[in-house]
Amino acid sequence: MDNLVEEAGLREGISEVIATTQPLSGTPNAAPVGILSRGSEYRVRLYRGSKTLSNVRETMRLAANVTRDPMFFVRTLFGNLSPGDFSLFHGFPVLKEANSWVLFRCRLVYEGTDSLLFLLSPLAVAIIRARIYAINRGLNAVIEAAILASRYNIMKSNREREQMMRKMGDYAEIVERCGGRREKEAIRLLIDELQKRANQNRMVSKNLSMLL
């Protein structure tokens, strides 16, 4: 099974994927997470306050969906997908458009103040499209920008937010230079969403509009 997980795209280090989960009763949820892999051990660290964490605590299941579409990372960072974006594997939601997915059983191994660490055991693997891609700096820059944006709410000072703005500008430049249509669409959506959140902070808000 571990070889299959690697074939599905979860390689040594941290793999950025879209986690799909669901509560015992209710609608499926999707959000970006990093799956940590060392040897044949897979883990995920889930920060408190997310829907993903509350769903995992209820069902102890998480599917790691592998996709290279940056729009999924930005859309699921700020909200959920529509029901039509999911398909069901034995009742568990996975992404219809995933290139591959791995359904994991989760076991809580550490409960920290800010986050909980789960050990993951693969239950099922699907490889739908095995495609070969060269590295695209635009795609990498969108992912870095999305990670930065995910920390926006915990940034306490204006100085931190302004530093974030500068980095965001650098990523946006890389996307414009190296990205394809999907990457450009994703960085614009990301900056739009941040703009909405920054409305109360005039300085950051002004700088964000200059990036568009």
Ligand X SMILES: Cc1cc2nc3c(=O)[nH]c(=O)nc-3n(C[C@H](O)[C@H](O)[C@H](O)COP(=O)(O)O)c2cc1C
One-letter amino acid at 169 equals G
Q: Which is nearer to ligand X, 45 or 184 (CB)?
A: 45
CB of 134 to ligand X, least distance (A): 20
* CA–CA dist 44, 33 (Å, integer): 8
CB of 31 to ligand X, least distance (A): 3
Reported for 104-108, long-range contacts at CB under 8 A and 24+ positions apart, including other chains, are 104/42, 104/61, 104/62, 104/63, 104/64, 105/60, 105/61, 106/44, 106/56, 106/60, 106/61, 106/62, 107/60, 108/57
Q: Which is nearer to ligand X, 50 or 201 (CB)?
A: 50
Burial class (CB in 10 A: 0-12, 13-18, 19+), 62: buried
CB of 80 to ligand X, least distance (A): 6
Q: Which is nearer to ligand X, 156 or 202 (CB)?
A: 156
Q: Which residues bind ligand X (CB under 6 A)?
A: 16, 29, 31-34, 44-47, 50-52, 73, 77, 143, 146-147, 150
* CA–CA dist 30, 53 (Å, integer): 11
CB of 150 to ligand X, least distance (A): 4
Q: Which is nearer to ligand X, 17 or 103 (CB)?
A: 17
Q: Which is nearer to ligand X, 29 or 65 (CB)?
A: 29
Q: Which is nearer to ligand X, 22 or 29 (CB)?
A: 29
CB of 97 to ligand X, least distance (A): 17
What angle do the packed helices 137-150 and 70-78 form, to 10 degrees? 10
CB of 73 to ligand X, least distance (A): 5
**Comparing C-alpha atoms, which of 170, 149, 171 is closest to residue 160?**
149
* CA–CA dist 53, 115 (Å, integer): 9
Kindly compute the dihedral angle of the four CA atoms of residues 183, 185, 187, 189, in this order, to the nearest 10 degrees.
-150
Location of structure tokens 């739908």: 128
